[in-house]
Chain A
Amino acid sequence: MKYDILIAGVGGQGVVLASRLLALAAMKTGFHVSTAETIGMSQREGSVSSHIRIGDKVSGSLIPIGQADLLLGLEPAETVRNLPFLKEGGKVLVNIHAIPPASRPPGSPEYDPAALLSFLCAYYPDILCSDFTKLADEVGTYRAANVAMLGAVAGARVLPFQEEILKAVLDAEIPEKYRAVNDAAFERARKCIRSVSGT
Chain B
Amino acid sequence: MSLLTDNKLLMGNEAIALGAIEAGVQVVTGYPGTPSTEALETIARYAKRCGIYTEWSSNEKVALETAAGAAYSGAKALVTMKQVGLNVASDPLMSLSYIGVKGALVLLVADDPGPHSSQTEQDTRVFGHFANIPVLDPATPQEAYELTKLAFELSHEFEIPIILRTTTRVSHSCGDVEVEAAEPVPVEAVEEGFVKDRRWTIFPKLTAERHPWLENVQEKLSERFSGLSFNSVSGSGKIGIIASGVSALYVKEAIEAVRGFEELFTLFRVGTAYPFPEKAALSFLKGIDRLIVAEELDPYLEEQALQLIGKAHLPVDVYGKKNGFFPVSGEYNVDIVIDSINRALAAYGESLCLSHASPAVSREKLPPLPIRAPTLCAGCMHRTVFYAFKQAAKQLKKESQTDTIFSGDIGCYTLGNAYPLNMVDTCLCMGAGISLAGGLYHTNPKTKQVAFIGDSTFFHSGIPAVINAVYNGANITLAVLDNRTTAMTGHQPHPGVGVTALGNVSKAIEIADVVRSCGVESVKIVNTVDPDSLESCIKAAKEAMNFNGPSVLVFKGKCVGITKPDKHYEINPEACTGCGFCIKELGCPALNLDGDKPVIQDNCSGCGLCAQICPSEAICIGGVKL
Contacts and interface: CB of A to CB of B under 8 A. Distances in A.
Q: Which size bracket describes the interface of B in this complex? A: 35 or more
A83 interface: yes
Given A20-B9, A83-B359, A100 B369 contact: no
A60 B169 contact: yes
Nearest to A113: B370
B357 A65 contact: yes
Interface in B1-20: 3-5, 7, 9
A35 B4 CA distance: 17
A84 B9 contact: no
Given A60-B253, A64-B333, A109-B370, A24 B116 contact: no
Contacts of B357: 64-67, 87
Contacts of A89: 360
A105 B116 contact: no
A167 B323 CA distance: 52
Given A60-B253, A101-B372, A123-B360, A84 B366 contact: yes
Contacts of B253: 59-60, 64
Given A38-B116, A62-B333, A20 B419 contact: no
A84 B361 contact: yes
Q: In this complex, which of B334, B358, B369, B418 has the most chain A Cβ atoms within 10 angstroms of its Cβ?
A: B369
Given A34-B173, A58-B175, A103-B419, A115 B376 contact: no
B335 A36 contact: no
B168 interface: yes
B34 interface: yes
A105 B360 contact: no
A28 B4 CA distance: 8
A5 interface: no
A148 to B, nearest CB: 16
B610 to A, nearest CB: 13
Nearest to A133: B602
Given A42-B116, A60-B249, A101 B373 contact: yes
B603 interface: yes
B366 A103 contact: no
A65 B116 CA distance: 19
Nearest to B359: A66
B4 A111 contact: no
B359 A65 contact: yes
A187 interface: no
A80 interface: yes
Contacts of B419: 103-106
Contacts of A29: 5
Contacts of B362: 84
Contacts of A19: 174
Interface in B316-370: 333-335, 338, 356-363, 366-370
Q: In this complex, which of B116, B360, B415 has the most chain A Cβ atoms within 10 angstroms of its Cβ?
A: B360
12 contacts: A27-B7, A29-B5, A31-B4, A35-B173, A39-B34, A40-B116, A65-B357, A66-B360, A101-B370, A102-B589, A103-B375, A104-B371
Given A31-B4, A88-B358, A105-B418, 20 more contacts: A33-B176, A34-B140, A38-B168, A39-B34, A40-B34, A40-B116, A44-B375, A44-B412, A46-B372, A58-B175, A59-B256, A61-B175, A66-B356, A66-B360, A87-B359, A103-B373, A104-B371, A109-B371, A110-B368, A124-B360
